[in-house]
Amino acid sequence: MTDLTALSYTSEHEWIALDGDIATVGITDFAAEKLGDVVFVDLPSADAAVASGDVCGEIESTKSVGELYAPLDGTVVEVNDAVVDDPSLVNADPFGDGWLVKIRIDGGLPDGLLDRAAYEELTA
């Protein structure tokens, strides 16, 4: 089980786990629940440059289509092909096997990220 208090969160319902200069990014359990059953995931390709706040992918569910926003500036170094092949992983394990991309960050983490308590307050 992932330590949810060790993650950073965005107001767009993404989580970030930082390991050196590599940030693993996924959507939160709250977002996965609101989306419903995820049926399609479109992610940026490896080596793609991403900019904080820009749309970099799409998550489609039986209820709606949601945009995936880059939570930071950097370069995609890995895409979770397992999620592309089996989008239900986003619902089944959003903080584990359902991660989406790994990004080598340019600079540090952006301002305005939330800790777990602040994120829970945002979604209450």
Q: What is the pLDDT of residues 19-62, one digit of tens each?
A: 999 999 999 999 999 999 999 999 999 999 999 999 999 999 99
Beta strands at 49-50 and 22-27: parallel, antiparallel or unpaired: unpaired
DSSP secondary structure code for residue 120 in this structure: H
The whole-number pLDDT of residue 46 equals 93
Predicted pLDDT at 118: 96
- State the DSSP H helix or E strand holding residue 90, giving kind and residue range, or none if neither: helix 89-92
Token code pair at residue 44: 């940026």
Residues 6+ apart with CB under 8 A from 81: none
Distance between CA atoms of 29 and 35, rounded to whole angstroms?
A: 10
Interior CA angle at 98 toward 27 and 26, to 5°? 25
